[in-house]
Each structure stands twice: as structure tokens, then as C-alpha cells.
A and B are shown apart, each in its own frame.
Chain A
Amino acid sequence: MSTKPATKIPNWKKSFGDKLLQILHPDGVISSDDELIVYECDGLTGYRIKPIFVVLPKSAKEVSEIIKLCNQETIPFVPRGAGTGLSGGALPTEEGIVISLARMTRILEIDIPNQRVVVEPGVVNLWVTNSVSSSGYYYAPDPSSQLVCTIGGNVAENSGGVHCLKYGVTTNHVLGLEVVLPNGEIIEVGGKTLDHPGYDLVGLFVGSEGLLGIVTKVALRIIRKPESIKTLFASFDKVEYAGGAVAGITARGVIPAGMEIMDNLSIRAVEKTVHAGYPIDAGAILLVELDGPNAEVEAQTPIVMEVLKENRATEIRIAKDSDERALFWKGRKSAFAAMGRMSPDYYVQDGVIPRTKLPQVLGEIENLSKKYGLRVANVFHAGDGNLHPLVLFDSSKDGEAEKAEELAGEILKACVDVGGSITGEHGVGYDKKRFMHLMFDEQALETMNMIRCAFDPKGLCNPGKVFPTPRSCVEAGRTTYREHPIEKSGLGERF
């Protein structure tokens, strides 16, 4: 435990802490206020709760023992990776502990011929690619936070990135998991091989936001680097034109690795800070990245150019080398950070719409912006319709934070109205649980609760997240029908 004596902690906490110390090395239990502060929130800093302890286990066995102890003492626990989540998923629970996986950072196995890497959950996303890069492979899901976020966090959030149009998101690249269930049992689901019998529990765990258990080992698929990559940059007078180009490209049968749009406000923010060479007056810019075998990329490039022109691109550039390509991307990748210079505060929204609804929804966002008198900058993974509107506000001005939040909520409503989703990659967490009813009716929420109850009947694992209102679990005993001896012997039947 920390060197500073924990003052004034009630007896039950102290005795709980002592029990944790029987499981973990002293440096694996954090209890002092100044160290706990770090864990009060994740990337969504507006919500803060101080946990009673933070524990840093080093193995699945330790995680299991901690969870068993939590069960005995009815203490809720919240898993945490790097804390970069943007929906408050790793926000601690009152009177609960945080289980940080930050010390489980080993890459356990690199198996190039079988295209698999097995890691512990605290391994940082980019380390995976770094570990196989020299063999010509990479790990495809590439969230912008990949320098710090963990694979465990990626699994929990089903994170995406800028290349998921063609290559899919985390769930398409996770094949096996070791999980400590909310009752402390350790199970393995899936594996390095495919098609395991039974329900797709791997598919359920990915994107379950830490509510179904703690992931302690992950088997990932790695893929071959493409032979050729070509990045095109186009500017447009209006965002709608850029949106039209995106729909046009897929309609022509071309599926780029990624397509990203930024609007004028974002362009200006970025140019002020990183000088990516974006035209400051453009209504929007579009980045299109093609990858694959040389001949395929060569054949697709003129098609994309044609579509860009048809949609009134005012300027088209093709990156001539990897330096220029990096420059094109630099602006996009620093968009969030740059926004800090445009406004004292901003709120990152994350909604999804069908590609074809892009012009319509962008129009609605513009109207909302006018209605609320707040600026909204648009940055988005246009290829898969994942919008990241950034609502700019000044929290020192009375009521502006609330207005921003309200505006951001209305954007989600617009997304759902056209058949989309309230979150494409950041998760529901704490922040968006109140919007779940926009997408899901009572039956759907009840169904999700059945899943949660099958894993965590006591509701101790990351409680208070995802579900709009607290739900309890009905004990589902084995009421499964068993043949009555009379029926079995053929003497009678139910009908």
C-alpha cells in the first residue's frame, strides 16, 4: 500500500484494504487521496468519482482473487485500461474499487505463420503493430489514441479507427479471450483457431464495456501490410459535396481503406496548429486512402478521381511519398487537439449514420448550431458514416455547458432518426446511457439485461453504465423442461 498513511478511513474499508494486501504486493494497492485522483475519471473529465482503492494486479489469478473478495464483501469494481475512454466507461463507482490492468503488459506470443498475436490486456494498441511490423504485418484497428490506449480497453469498447471501412473494427480482429467472470471464475472463450462450438461469447465480450467481466488475455488477428497505399486529398466548397463524393466512391464499387472528412472550422483549427497544408477557405476536405495490390490501387485511383471531380472537387492532390501522406493525415489526426485552440471547451460527439444520409444530417447539425448559438466543427470517418461533431463552448459562461450537452444530444437524435446509432466507437458508458432509449425499446433493453444477468447477477461489475436505469436480475433457475418419466416411457405426452 502507499507509503502515506490513509487517514480517516472507516474500519470496513481498512479491513477490506488489508484483505487486498493479502492478494497483492503493497505497490499494487493504491489508497492515498493524491494518487487516487488520477483514477477519478477517464477521458471524459466532466464526471469524477473517487474510488476507495485502486488495485494493479499482474495476473488473471490475482484478478480472480480480487473479484472473489469483492463478491464476498459486495464491493463493486470497475476495470480500467489507459483511461482514454470518452464515455465515462472507466468512471469509478461510489464505494467501489478500480481494477487497473496497466501492469499486465506482456506480449505473450507472436505467431507470424498463423497470423496471431496473444497479449495481456494492458498492452498498448500500437505495440502490437510494432511487434510484428518487421515481418510485414500489422494490427488493423487503429484508434487515434493508439499510442496510449490498451487492447483491453479496445476490446471493451470495440474500438474503431480510420481504416475500419475496409478492415472492420476490433470485433473483427479478436479471436479468443481469457476472461475473469464477475464471480471470479476464469474462462477461456474462442482461441487462436476459428469456429468454436457454442454461443459466440467472444462476440459478446467485445464491446461489452467492461460489464461482463475482466479480460486478461486476448488472441488477435494480424494482417499483411498492403503492397501499395495511395492517399488522395480533395477540397470542396461545401461539406455536402464531399459527402456526395464519399457515397459516389462506394457506389462505384471502390472500398477504400478509409475516408475522412473535415469541415471548414476543423480545417482552420488544424492549420493554426499543425500546418498540414489544407486550404484554409475550403468548405471541406476529404482524405481517401486506397490500399491493396498495386494493380488494384492503380485501377481504382482514376475512378476515385472521376467521382471527386463529378462532385465538384476544387482541388485534388495525390500524396507522392510517405512523407506527404503523413502530412495529409497529420491534420486529421490532430483535429481534436487543435480544437482546444479554437475554444476553451469542446464536447466530442460520436454518432453514426448511413453514408447516403450525410448531406441531410450535416444540414441538421448546421441548423442545430444556429439554434443553440454554438459552433460545431465536423470531423468524421465518412466512409462508415461515423460522425464526430465537436461542440465548442465556454464553460465559464453561464449555462453554456448545458446548452452544449443538449445540442450534442439532439445530434444523436438526428442520427437515430435516419437509422443510425448513438455511438460508433466511443461507447455508451456513463455519458450516453440516457440516450439508449432513442435506439432501443423496452424489449431490447430487457434482452440486454438478460445478457448482463447471465454474467453478473449481482451487478458488481462496472455497475451504473450502459443501461439507462438500474435493472435487477430475476434469478433464472434451471427451469428448462425435463421429460417426465411418463412421457419418456411413451405413456403420455403434453399435447
Chain B
Amino acid sequence: MADLLKEIINVVGDDNAISQSPELERYAIEGKTPKVVVLPQTIEEISEILKVASSKSLAVIPRGGGTKIGFGREPNRADIVLCMSQLNQVLEHEASDLVAATQCGITLKAFQGVLKEKNQFLAIDPPHFESGATVGGIIATNDSGPRRLRYGTMRELLIGIRVVRSDGAIVKGGAKVVKNVAGYDIPKLYVGSLGTLGIIVEGIFRLYPIPELSQTYIVSFSNLAELQKMVLSILNSSLVPTCLEVLNPTLIDAISDQLRLNLKKEKYALAIRIESVGKAVRDQVSKVKGICGERGGEGILVEGVVEESFWQEIREFPWSMSVSNRVICKAGVLITDVPRVFQALGELSSNSGLGIYSSARAGNGILIISIEGEMSPIIEATKSLRNLVNSLKGNLIIRDAPADLKSQVDVWGEVGESIKVMERLKSHFDPNGILNPGRFVGEI
């Protein structure tokens, strides 16, 4: 054992490895403490580490900012934690091409900072922005935020990638251009692969110019059906919102005072964000007000710092409510089924006394749900939600939960027949099963 450890540590040097308690414990994954934590400085070092790990069947847990390290099933094993934080250089930002390349250990915040110098941005707004989510971690978990309505997710933004395969091979996919159909779409394979197919070391992204102005109109509704009509009429109009978010009453209760927005409690709220050149924003906002007014909704308009903190709260709410007994899920259903899920959430919470907070990307059919309370009713609630969502032909994924819950409810849910193909992909890419073993769907 000592020899193996040494071989791994030698690759990065003593200064870039942690192999002693108590520091090691800080890197435990779901209670599993690794034998060693390494902080490689180069892609070549990562390749060397993986070669050793592969030949000795040592389990490698890639780690970015550690903000989503609890995502996925409990790993079967955890020998080496491979930290990406040292690979944090922006490699290129060609503003006229609206393209940038970066090492993936960089935090999203730092990356956005660099892009902002040329008035551009990576059009993605996942949680953990302030707490150090890295670009690589966001790719691996396919995390996203309210802005996906307009810009999509990493899937749409990642045009090129460099990965280190489990056998140490350094592989490039995609290119520095937005349009490219040469060979299979390797970048897409890695988006959402949770580190099970290789270590994502570099990414090339398509960028967008930072819009001149942003405004958000927030309007309250007590009636879900009315609210849904409103959502559908906005989607079915010529308006081009960047976000269209529905918040449930519990969530509004929780955030309204803190944001000093004086939102109507015990009601649902719809937030419509418009970003464009100034005149186009004002024009669209007045149309939004018109549509709301017709349906008896009246709201408030926010911009600037207030608007920013409102969206930040929506992005971060499940994690900023620090409760140990809670589960965070993401449900994907049809746009028209969102109210049914909200209704079920309301019933669940009045029947069980659980605190259920939820925010929906209403134009995408995605709901972020946080349930807090006693463990056993939470587990029941999660199961019944998954049943509902599955019956609507959607799916429910658990983003974060105590080990207790994970042992009783599968994090991922049913994948169907395609699981066989996924297993075969995994066994070709990682024949020794060393990368995040057991964490992904079907225990991949």
C-alpha cells in the first residue's frame, strides 16, 4: 500500500499531495475517506496518476470546487481524490469569435471575471457561483440555472473539450468553432457524465455578449391555473425572456423578507427576466405588464443589485437553507405539467407537515425542489413525487441528500433499456471501473 501511495504522490510531489489525517477527512465523500488527495499541476500529471490508478484498480474521485461532491450515488470506493484546482488558467479569449478556452479547474466566477473584461460571458448561471463551483464540475454534473430558457445548458455552450481517459490517454474532441460535425460529438458525451468517463481538463465555449440591460418583473398569483395561463401566453408570444421562473408560496415566504421585496405571501409568483438593448427591454417589459394586467396580476419591476440578488437567491436557495434533514431534487416534466407537480407539492406539505420549497423553470418544465423535515416522511414524499413525475413521463433526480435517503431511494431513478448501452460505453472507457465507481446511473 505504501508503495502505491508513494508512486501516486511522486507524480505530483509531496507539496501537492495530502496523505495525513486530519486533512484527509476534509475530502471524505459520503463518509468515505480517501487514502490520498492529489493536486496535479499539469495534464500530464493527471495522465500519469490515471495510468497508475488504472493498472492497480484504485478508485479516483475527481473534484472541482467540491460544491457538488455529494451529487450522485455513494461511491463504491474512494482511494484517490484528484483535485482540479491547480488547472485554472484561461487559455484563450477571442472576443470577435465569441469563443474562449480554459482549463476546467477554474471557478466559474473567475472565468466570468476574465470574460467580462471584453464584455462577454459564459451564458450559464448554476448554483454555487460564490462558493467556488468550477467549470469542470458544472460540465460533469450538467448543472444549470434559470437562464437556460434562453441559452440552454452546458450542452449548448461547450464546443470543444480535452479529457484524460482512465488509461491516461489525453483526448481532444470538438474544435474552436461553433459548427463542427467531424466525428462523434465527444463534448456532449462528457456533459453530465459525472466524471465516470474521464477527467475533463479543458473546455472551449461559445460565448455571448453581456446584454446592455436586464429587468425582471415579478408578479403574484393565488391561482395556479391563472398563473399557468400567464406562462403559456408569454411563451406563445413574441417576447423573448431569458428566464421564466415560478416560485411556490413557501419559497416566497422564505426569501421575501430577506430580499425586502415585499412579495405577496401565500401566493405563487412568476418572475420574467428580459435582457437586451435598453429600448427592447423596456418595450418587452411593458408588454409583459400588459399581459399580466389582463389576468389581474400586478407586480413589481426590479433591476440592478436588487434584481441580481433576487436571481442569486433563486439559484442558491436549496443550498443556502442550511438544514441537515433535507433533500434537493430536480424534476423534468412537460411545460404543461408543471402546475400538477406544484399542486402535488402543496398537498404533500399540508398532509405531512414537511417544508417544501420549489422554484420552476416554467418554460423548460424543470422544477428544483427542496424538502425539509423528518427523514422518514421526506423519503415517502420523495418516492411519491418520483412516481408522479414518472407517470407524467418525466424524471426526478436527487441532487443532494443524506446517505440515509440515498440508501432507500435511487438518486437517478429508472433509465430504461438504454442503460445497457451506457454500461457498454463505461466498460470501454473505463474497463477497470476506477472513475467515480458506482456513483452514476445503474451503479456505473
Q: How far is the CA of A194 from the CA of B330 in the complex (A)?
A: 11
Provided the pairs A189-B418, A455-B421 are in contact, do residues A355 and B175 lie with their beta carbons within 8 angstroms?
A: no
Beta-carbon contact of A298 and B279 below 8 Å: yes
* Partner-contacting stretch, out of A97-105, A195-203, A271-279: A195-203
A6 within 8 A of B: no
Contact residues in B for A250 (Cβ distance below 8 Å): 96-98
Contact residues in B for A157 (Cβ distance below 8 Å): 181
Beta-carbon contact of B185 and A206 below 8 Å: yes
Beta-carbon contact of A247 and B96 below 8 Å: yes
Residues of A within 8 A of B (CB): 111-115, 136, 157-158, 160, 164-165, 168-169, 171-172, 181, 185-189, 191-201, 203-204, 206-208, 224-227, 247-248, 250-251, 253-255, 292-296, 298-300, 352-356, 381, 384-386, 419-428, 432, 436, 439-441, 443-448, 450-455, 466, 476-481, 483, 493-495
17 contacts between A and B (CB under 8 A): A169-B179, A193-B332, A198-B412, A198-B441, A201-B422, A203-B189, A224-B235, A295-B282, A352-B175, A354-B97, A419-B176, A424-B180, A436-B182, A443-B171, A447-B186, A480-B427, A493-B1
* Partner-contacting stretch, out of B104-112, B237-245, B246-254, B347-355: B237-245
Provided the pairs A198-B412, A200-B189, A495-B1 are in contact, do residues A192 and B393 lie with their beta carbons within 8 angstroms?
A: yes
B131 within 8 A of A: no
Q: How far is the CA of A154 from the CA of B48 in the complex (A)?
A: 41
Beta-carbon contact of A197 and B433 below 8 Å: no
Beta-carbon contact of A483 and B77 below 8 Å: yes
Beta-carbon contact of B336 and A113 below 8 Å: yes
B294 within 8 A of A: no
Beta-carbon contact of B418 and A187 below 8 Å: yes
B76 within 8 A of A: yes
Beta-carbon contact of A292 and B172 below 8 Å: no
How many B residues have CB within 8 A of the partner chain? 104
Residues of B within 8 A of A (CB): 1, 4-5, 35, 56-59, 76-77, 79, 94-99, 119, 142, 152, 155-156, 165, 169-173, 175-186, 188-189, 191-193, 197, 208-210, 212, 232, 235-240, 276-280, 282-284, 330, 332-336, 364-366, 393-395, 397, 412-413, 415-434, 437, 440-442
CB distance from A231 to the nearest CB of B (A): 18
Query: Of the candidates B96, B181, B185, which one forms a contact with A424 in the assembled complex, judged by CB atoms under 8 Å apart?
Result: B181
Query: Of the candidates A195, A293, A385, which one forms a contact with B332 in the assembled complex, judged by CB atoms under 8 Å apart?
Result: A195
Provided the pairs A136-B236, A354-B94 are in contact, do residues A481 and B57 lie with their beta carbons within 8 angstroms?
A: yes
Closest B residue, CB atoms, query A495: B1
Beta-carbon contact of B175 and A420 below 8 Å: yes
Beta-carbon contact of B184 and A451 below 8 Å: yes
Beta-carbon contact of B330 and A203 below 8 Å: no
Beta-carbon contact of B179 and A440 below 8 Å: no
Q: How far is the CA of A426 from the CA of B180 in the complex (A)?
A: 10
Q: How far is the CA of A227 from the CA of B238 in the complex (A)?
A: 5
CB distance from B262 to the nearest CB of A (A): 30
Provide the main secondary structure of the chain A interface: loop
Contact residues in B for A255 (Cβ distance below 8 Å): 98, 208-209
Query: Of the candidates A224, A254, A477, which one forms a contact with B427 in the assembled complex, judged by CB atoms under 8 Å apart?
Result: A477
Query: Of the candidates B184, B239, B365, B441, which one forms a contact with A204 in the assembled complex, judged by CB atoms under 8 Å apart?
Result: B184
Beta-carbon contact of B240 and A204 below 8 Å: no
Beta-carbon contact of A420 and B366 below 8 Å: no
Contact residues in B for A423 (Cβ distance below 8 Å): 180-182
Beta-carbon contact of A483 and B76 below 8 Å: yes
Beta-carbon contact of A181 and B183 below 8 Å: no
Contact residues in B for A494 (Cβ distance below 8 Å): 1, 56-58, 79
Beta-carbon contact of A253 and B177 below 8 Å: no
CB distance from B148 to the nearest CB of A (A): 9
Beta-carbon contact of A495 and B5 below 8 Å: yes
Contact residues in B for A114 (Cβ distance below 8 Å): 334-336, 365
Contact residues in B for A247 (Cβ distance below 8 Å): 96-97
Q: How far is the CA of A353 from the CA of B156 in the complex (A)?
A: 19
Query: Of the candidates B94, B95, B177, B442, which one forms a contact with A421 in the assembled complex, judged by CB atoms under 8 Å apart?
Result: B177
Closest B residue, CB atoms, query A412: B182
Extra 19 A-B pairs, beta carbons < 8 Å, given A250-B98, A444-B172, A476-B424 = A113-B236, A114-B336, A168-B152, A195-B142, A198-B440, A198-B441, A200-B155, A204-B185, A253-B119, A384-B179, A420-B175, A420-B177, A421-B181, A424-B181, A440-B182, A443-B169, A452-B184, A478-B427, A495-B5
Beta-carbon contact of A354 and B177 below 8 Å: yes
